[in-house]
């Protein structure tokens, strides 16, 4: 903003000097961040785009093939299947996370005895890495030496050990439960911050006007949490579309390749089939999908006209 | 000051010494983690006996291929590596390996080298890889459980019907004891232990040159029926259905499995880590008679353009000597030189002899896309075996796998 003003109105030389020095100092401050973004994001992104235009095997010579990889993607049914599964998973897991996280946020928002203990407890799984959490659950879910199935068997609830990971539905829902356990605490904290930012007097005024708890939630809490909801939603959707660890570690894409996600497919193409160029092209497609989805979400949750 | 002079003198001496043995060179060699037992021993032995030296790096199994690819692209590839033999065709096809045909054929014992290794090491009539370590698939049975079940503990099953019958008897002991185990969601495990059942009965899953998938055969269906019937009768632990290979060895080692297909590696591992398990080793049988085995292990390959070829050759020559072969055998690999295998194994567990014989007549499928077809956890082979062993639609699964495998073969880069 300041650059536009300085350029538009010719300032006295001295002031201009100060202003430009301030700009330099400002640049200096953001330089480390810019350097990080350039080195670890922009350059790799450019390289990915460049590689996606090549037939680039892991070993041996690579050759330029223009849009050949992208044409191949159009015919790659297994990628589209993986993308469809990823979409299905994203919808289910996002709903599941919010259904669990919102009540938790309402529960821990107000100070009450032991609130801090509850907050810590609910948040705890979020500090575990996805890979370690997956390893833990892969043991819990194991039919012979794990917890759930053997425990149910020993308690006499089932007469034959049930392999949770052997068929699609139980395997898929086991993953959903695991992800909700792992992520809901984090979403809860974001939502809680949003809830706490709603001025108390608005709620009180509504109570005086005779609004019930549900009406208050719908007319005050939800609209004022738009930004928070947008943040939580985008984080959850982006995280779910990039899901990989849990499906790789617990299910290996099984049972029978029914839980191959888009990133899993990219990994397979790049490092199992050694087609780095094709993997790069798939990554670019996924990037476009992800950016588009995020824009749609931002648009849906934009500030309604006339509000603040 | 005196100190400084002393240091200078030492430096001069070192330089002089260095100049005196200017021929001494160091070659870098990589091996996958499967070789972490025998490889350091044989490298040590070589380094002690030679002026030239070998520097060894051990790389995790799953990472050695991508890591080597990245290193080759960056010009920092090792001079040679001990490579899972099934990858040799695809590495050679990528133009990554040095052609060692002339040298290989000049070896006096060339014809006694493991034929399965030499076959996979050959690409378009040139030799790019030579056998280094070997592992053959065999059938192992728990003698203690056989005895308890009233079976002859010294006699392993020699046909499919006997496998099923023995497994059922052992399974009848009840409790935690199960008759049979296999890793039902592991492509690599089953190409190693399940296809020999098919081969021994006269069938195959790929044509000789790897250009055609030939899944739909009566032999494959017969072997599937054997596994399905055992699953149906509950002779196999429920975890087998989702085992991606983690329990391939561990299940039998726990001591409550009657029979399990396994590999020669299990002999060394059981003897050292589970000395209480009393087990027998026999061949993987055909339907009514005969036997076969998957000849696995590593090929030794040389990175194209390396300047350390003489060192690499000297090292491989040492590995092929009786001393080298004995070290390999002692620490978990079968000998790869047929003519001196007996001698290299003579002081070891006699059960190795069965595995060595299996190795000598072992078979290895040949394909430049082996990883995509077979080993990949999401490839057609892995998907098919899981479906046909545990699912409902055997015909559909075979047809689907046949089609996918053929399309992967057809799409492979042709050079």
DSSP secondary structure of B116-170: HHHHHTEETTEE-EEEEEEEEEEEEEEHHHHHHTTS-TT----SHHHHHHHHHHH
Q: At CA B234, angle to CA B396 and CA B174, rounded to 5?
A: 170
The domain that holds A177 is classified in CATH as 1.10.3720.10
Q: B239-267 pLDDT, tens per residue?
A: 899 888 888 888 999 999 999 999 988 88
> In the block, which residue shows the tokens 């370690």?
A132
With respect to residue A308, please indicate whether it lies within any of the assigned structural domains. no
Mutate to test the interface with B, among A78, A166, A253 (most CBs of B within 10 A): A166
Q: B331-350 pLDDT, tens per residue?
A: 878 899 988 888 888 888 88
Q: A121-142 pLDDT, tens per residue?
A: 999 999 998 999 999 999 999 8
Q: Show Cβ contacts of residue A83 under 8 Å, excluding neighbours closer than 6 positions.
A: A262, A286, A289
Domain count, chain A: 2
Residue B217's pLDDT is what? 93
- State whether residue B238 sits within 8 Å of chain A by CB: yes
Do A156 and A258 fall into the same domain?
yes
Q: With an 8 Å Cβ cutoff, are B94 and A59 in contact?
A: yes
With respect to residue A144, please indicate whether it lies within any of the assigned structural domains. yes
Do A38 and A72 fall into the same domain?
no
With respect to residue A52, please indicate whether it lies within any of the assigned structural domains. no
With respect to residue A51, please indicate whether it lies within any of the assigned structural domains. no
> What sign has the CA pseudo-torsion A295, A296, A301, A304?
positive
Question: For strand B257-263 and strand B178-180, is the pairing parallel, antiparallel, or unpaired?
Answer: parallel
- State whether residue B400 sits within 8 Å of chain A by CB: no
Residue A91's pLDDT is what? 96
Q: CA-CA distance, A54 to A45, in Å (whole number)? A: 15
Do A11 and A133 fall into the same domain?
no
Residue B367's pLDDT is what? 87
Residue B13's pLDDT is what? 47
Residue B347's pLDDT is what? 84
Backbone conformation region of residue B285, classed left if phi is above 0, alpha if psi is from -120 to 50, else beta? beta
Do A17 and A130 fall into the same domain?
no
Residue B6's pLDDT is what? 52
- State whether residue B376 sits within 8 Å of chain A by CB: yes
Q: What percent of chain A has pLDDT over 70?
A: 92
Contact list in A for residue B377 (CB cut-off 8 A) is 252-254
Do A78 and A205 fall into the same domain?
yes
B352: burial class by Cβ within 10 Å (0-12, 13-18, 19+)? buried
Do A173 and A208 fall into the same domain?
yes
Mutate to test the interface with B, among A272, A275, A278, A279 (most CBs of B within 10 A): A272
Q: A154-175 pLDDT, tens per residue?
A: 898 888 888 888 889 999 999 9
Do A263 and A127 fall into the same domain?
yes
Do A282 and A172 fall into the same domain?
yes
Q: A221-262 pLDDT, tens per residue?
A: 888 888 899 889 999 999 999 999 999 999 888 788 899 999
Q: Per-residue b/e over B263-274, b at no fewer than 16 CB within 10 Å?
A: bbbbbbbbbeeb
Do A237 and A124 fall into the same domain?
yes
**Structural domains of chain B sorted by starting position, each given as residue range(s) with its CATH number in brackets:** 19-135+296-360 (3.40.190.10), 137-294+366-411 (3.40.190.10)
Q: Show Cβ contacts of residue A31 under 8 Å, excluding neighbours closer than 6 positions.
A: none
10-residue averages of pLDDT along chain B (415 residues): 51 45 80 86 94 92 82 87 89 89 93 90 93 94 95 94 96 92 92 95 90 92 96 93 87 94 89 90 94 93 91 93 90 87 86 89 87 87 93 92 91 63
**Residue B218 backbone dihedrals phi, psi, to 5 degrees:** -60, -30
Highest mean pLDDT among A174-188, A245-259, A268-282: A174-188
Residue B283: CB atoms within 10 Å: 23
Do A144 and A227 fall into the same domain?
yes
With respect to residue A122, please indicate whether it lies within any of the assigned structural domains. yes
Residue A11's pLDDT is what? 52
With respect to residue A120, please indicate whether it lies within any of the assigned structural domains. yes
Do A164 and A27 fall into the same domain?
no
Interface pTM (ipTM) of the complex? 0.72
Find the CB nearest A163 among B90, B241, B391: B241
Q: With an 8 Å Cβ cutoff, are B69 and A142 in contact?
A: no
Do A15 and A125 fall into the same domain?
no
Look at residue A114 and tell me whether its pLDDT is greater than 70.
Answer: yes
With respect to residue A307, please indicate whether it lies within any of the assigned structural domains. no
Whether the model clears a pTM of 0.90, i.e. scores above it, the answer is no
Domain region containing A146: 68-300
With respect to residue A56, please indicate whether it lies within any of the assigned structural domains. no
């Amino acid at each position: 903003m300041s650059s536009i003003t300085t350029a538009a109105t010719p300032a006295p030389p001295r002031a201009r000097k100060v202003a430009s020095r301030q700009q330099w100092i400002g640049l200096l401050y953001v330089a480390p961040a810019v350097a990080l973004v350039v080195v670890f994001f922009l350059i790799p992104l450019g390289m990915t785009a460049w590689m996606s235009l090549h037939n680039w095997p892991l070993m041996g010579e690579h050759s330029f093939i223009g849009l050949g990889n992208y044409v191949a993607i159009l015919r790659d049914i297994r990628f589209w299947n993986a993308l469809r599964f990823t979409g299905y998973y994203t919808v289910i897991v996002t709903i599941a996370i919010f259904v669990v996280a919102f009540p938790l946020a309402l529960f821990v928002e107000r100070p009450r005895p032991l609130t801090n203990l509850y907050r810590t407890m609910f948040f705890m799984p979020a500090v575990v890495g996805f890979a370690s959490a997956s390893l833990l659950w892969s043991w819990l879910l194991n039919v012979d030496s794990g917890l759930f199935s053997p425990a149910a068997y020993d308690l006499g609830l089932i007469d034959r050990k049930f392999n949770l990971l052997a068929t699609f539905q139980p395997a898929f829902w086991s993953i959903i439960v695991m992800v909700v356990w792992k992520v809901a605490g984090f979403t809860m904290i974001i939502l809680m911050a949003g809830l706490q930012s709603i001025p108390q007097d608005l709620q009180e005024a509504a109570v005086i006007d005779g609004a019930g708890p549900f009406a208050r939630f719908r007319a005050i809490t939800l609209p004022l949490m738009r930004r928070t909801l947008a943040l939580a939603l985008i984080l959850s959707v982006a995280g779910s579309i990039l899901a990989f660890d849990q499906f790789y570690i617990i299910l290996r894409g099984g049972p029978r390749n029914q839980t191959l996600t888009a990133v899993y497919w990219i990994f397979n193409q790049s490092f199992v089939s050694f087609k780095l160029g094709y993997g790069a092209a798939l990554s670019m497609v996924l990037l476009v999908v992800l950016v588009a989805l995020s824009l749609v979400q931002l648009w849906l949750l934009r500030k309604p006209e006339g509000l603040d | 000051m005196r100190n400084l002079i002393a240091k200078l003198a030492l430096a001069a001496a070192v330089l002089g010494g260095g100049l005196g043995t200017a021929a001494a060179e160091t070659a870098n060699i990589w091996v996958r983690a499967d070789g972490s037992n025998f490889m350091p021993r044989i490298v040590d032995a070589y380094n002690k006996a030679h002026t030239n030296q070998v520097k060894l790096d051990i790389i995790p199994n799953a990472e050695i291929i991508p890591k080597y690819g990245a290193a080759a692209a960056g010009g920092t590839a090792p001079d040679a590596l001990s490579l899972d033999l099934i990858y040799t065709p695809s590495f050679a096809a990528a133009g990554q390996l040095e052609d060692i045909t002339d040298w290989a054929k000049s070896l006096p014992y060339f014809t006694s080298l493991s034929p399965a290794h030499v076959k996979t090491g050959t690409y378009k009539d040139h030799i790019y890889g030579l056998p280094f370590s070997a592992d053959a698939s065999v059938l192992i049975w728990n003698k203690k459980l056989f005895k308890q079940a009233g079976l002859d503990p010294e006699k392993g099953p020699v046909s499919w019907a006997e496998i099923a019958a023995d497994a059922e008897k052992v399974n009848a002991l009840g409790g935690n004891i199960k008759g049979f185990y296999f890793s039902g969601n592991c492509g690599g495990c089953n190409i190693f232990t399940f296809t020999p059942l098919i081969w021994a009965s006269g069938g195959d899953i790929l044509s000789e040159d790897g250009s055609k998938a030939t899944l739909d055969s009566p032999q494959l269906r017969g072997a599937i029926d054997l596994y399905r019937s055992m699953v149906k009768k509950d002779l196999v632990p429920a975890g087998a259905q989702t085992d991606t290979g983690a329990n391939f060895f561990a299940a039998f080692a726990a001591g409550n499995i009657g029979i399990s297909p396994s590999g020669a590696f299990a002999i060394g591992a059981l003897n050292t880590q589970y000395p209480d398990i009393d087990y027998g080793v026999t061949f993987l049988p055909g339907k009514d008679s005969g036997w076969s085995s998957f000849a696995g292990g590593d090929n030794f390959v040389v990175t194209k353009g390396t300047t350390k070829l003489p060192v690499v050759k000297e090292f491989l020559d040492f590995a092929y000597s009786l001393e080298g072969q004995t070290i390999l055998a002692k620490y978990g690999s079968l000998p790869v030189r047929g003519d001196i295998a007996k001698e290299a194994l003579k002081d070891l567990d006699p059960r190795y002899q069965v595995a060595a014989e299996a190795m000598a007549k072992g078979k290895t499928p040949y394909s430049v896309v082996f990883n995509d077809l077979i080993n990949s956890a999401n490839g057609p082979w892995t998907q098919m075996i899981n479906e046909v062993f545990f699912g409902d639609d055997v015909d559909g699964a075979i047809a689907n796998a046949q089609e996918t495998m053929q399309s992967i073969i057809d799409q492979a880069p042709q050079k």
